[in-house]
Amino acid sequence: MEELLLAWFGRNGRDLPWRTTRDPYAILVSEVMSQQTQVERVVPRWRCWLDRWPTIEELAAAPAGEVIREWQGLGYNRRALSLHRAAQQVAAHGWPDDLTELPGVGLYTADAVACFAFGRPVLPVDVNVRRVSERTGLSFSPAAAQGLMDLGKTVCLARLPRCEICPLAQACPSRGRRFEPSRRQGPFEGSFRQRRSAALRAVLAGSRPDDKEALASLARDGLVRLDGEAVSLPE
């Protein structure tokens, strides 16, 4: 079955720019950006990021405030700070064997960097890979990782899988099933996330936002610095 998947991937795989590199830094950036942001939005931002900081050492040497500024529009700003700290850790000590030691790097991201950059024999299991594996009951090798990701993203959809065009259909016990909608994240509009985002934008623009609660929350995460009435970006 894996050969059928790989053949399908050869014809239908998404053309993502980080799939042509084995640079662990470039792959880490793509994975962290993609954690909670759609891949279509990530592609141009990933290119800009690497134009600005082509190496992990250059990112490590950048001021935190500039890293937060460059991240704007991607959401979940804590990822920017974690990525910056991870870069500083790697610049100082090299890549750790256990990549989950890096700030903001969970098991999936660690496995993705290990597989795609370092060629280690691990299958990174994201939500798409897990769905295809669970529905088919098949096990796959690390070589199938990107094919599984794309199949889960474009064919084996969460609610209404497109089994009629699936290369694994003949071996899949879930073929033709429909699935309950999964719980979606609450709306951004009116949320505390939105208030935090607006407060951070104001700080980036050089003003002090009125929303004290959002400011305090940003300060706790290290995204801004509060000093009495003064508010600034971290250095």
Number of residues that bind ligand SF4 (CB under 6 A): 14
Which part of the chain contacts ligand SF4 (CB under 6 A), choosing from 26-34, 166-174, 200-208, 219-227? Answer: 166-174
Which part of the chain contacts ligand SF4 (CB under 6 A), choosing from 29-37, 153-161, 200-208, 215-223? Answer: 153-161
Cβ nearer to ligand SF4, comparing 141 with 194: 141
Which part of the chain contacts ligand SF4 (CB under 6 A), choosing from 6-14, 74-82, 163-171, 198-206? Answer: 163-171
Task: Give dist(CA 214, CA 193) in Å, integer.
Answer: 9
> Is 31 a catalytic site residue?
yes
Closest CA to 35 of 94, 79, 92, 90: 79
Which part of the chain contacts ligand SF4 (CB under 6 A), choosing from 42-50, 84-92, 157-165, 188-196? Answer: 157-165
Task: Give dist(CA 88, CA 58) in Å, integer.
Answer: 9
Q: Which of residues 106-125 bind ligand SF4 (CB under 6 A)?
A: none
- Beta-strand relationship, 225-227 and 230-232: antiparallel
Tell me the two tokens of residue 7.
């053949």
Q: Indicate whether 135 belongs to the interface with ligand SF4 (CB under 6 A).
A: yes
Q: Catalytic one among 3, 31, 70, 235?
A: 31
Cβ nearer to ligand SF4, comparing 29 with 155: 155
Q: Indicate whether 155 belongs to the interface with ligand SF4 (CB under 6 A).
A: yes
Q: Indicate whether 132 belongs to the interface with ligand SF4 (CB under 6 A).
A: yes
CA-based max dimension of the chain: 66
Q: Indicate whether 168 belongs to the interface with ligand SF4 (CB under 6 A).
A: yes
Q: Indicate whether 84 belongs to the interface with ligand SF4 (CB under 6 A).
A: no
Using a 10 angstrom Cβ sphere, with 0-12 exposed, 13-18 middle and 19 or more buried, the burial of residue 134 is exposed
Q: Are 108 and 126 in contact (CB under 8 A)?
A: yes
**Vertex 170, ends 166 and 172: CA angle to 5°?**
80
Q: Are 193 and 217 in contact (CB under 8 A)?
A: no
By the criterion CB under 6 A, which residues form the site for ligand SF4?
132, 135-136, 155-156, 161-163, 166, 168-169, 172, 174-175
Active site residues: 31
